[in-house]
Chains A and B, each alone.
Chain A
Amino acid sequence: MGAKILQIEYHLPERLVTNKDLEAEFEGWNAEKIEKKTGIRERRVVREDETALDMALTVSSRVLAGFDKDKIDYLILNTQSPEYIMPSSSCLLHNRLGLRTDVGAIDVNLGCSGFVYGLSLSKGLIAAGIAKNVLLVTSETYSKHIHPKDKGNRTIFGDGAAAAIIQQSDQEGILAFSLGTQGNEKDIIVPWGATKHRYDPGAEEIADPSGSIRTANNFYMNGPDVFNFTIQAIPPVYHDILEKNALTVADVDYVIFHQANEYMIEYLRKKLQIPEEKFYKNMLLTGNTVASTIPIALKDSLDRGLIKKGNKVLILGFGVGYSWGGTVLNI
Chain B
Amino acid sequence: MKKTDFFNALKDILEVDVDMTDGTNLRQIPEYDSMAVLSMIAFFDEKFQKKIEAEEFAKVTTISDLIGLIGADRFE
Q: Is A191 an interface residue (CB 8 A)?
A: no
- Name the residue in A152, A222, A224, A225 with the highest tally of chain B Cβ atoms < 10 Å from its Cβ: A224
Q: How many A-B residue contacts, CB cutoff 8 Å?
A: 41
Residue of A nearest to B46 (CB): A271
Inter-chain contacts of B53 with A (CB < 8 A): 224-225, 228
Q: How far is it, in angstroms, between the C-alpha of A152 and the C-alpha of B33 when the chains are bound?
A: 11
Q: How far is it, in angstroms, between the C-alpha of A227 and the C-alpha of B52 when the chains are bound?
A: 10
Q: How far is it, in angstroms, between the C-alpha of A37 and the C-alpha of B42 when the chains are bound?
A: 14
Q: Is A264 an interface residue (CB 8 A)?
A: yes
Residues 49-65 of B contacting A (Cβ, < 8 Å): 51-54, 57-58
Q: Is the CB of A223 within 8 A of B38?
A: yes
Contact-residue bracket for chain B? 10 to 19
Query: Which of A38, A224, A232, A271 touches B37 (beta carbons < 8 Å)?
Result: A224
Q: Is B34 an interface residue (CB 8 A)?
A: yes
Query: Which of A38, A152, A209, A227 touches B41 (beta carbons < 8 Å)?
Result: A227
Q: How far is it, in angstroms, between the C-alpha of A267 and the C-alpha of B46 when the chains are bound?
A: 9
Q: Is the CB of B45 within 8 A of A231?
A: yes
Q: Is B8 an interface residue (CB 8 A)?
A: no
Cβ distance A236 to chain B, nearest Cβ, rounded Å: 14
Mark A residues whose CB is within 8 Å of B: 37-38, 152, 209-210, 222-225, 227-228, 231-232, 263-264, 267, 271
Known: A223-B54, A224-B54, A263-B39. 9 other contacts (CB 8 A): A37-B35, A38-B35, A227-B38, A227-B42, A228-B51, A228-B52, A231-B42, A231-B45, A263-B38
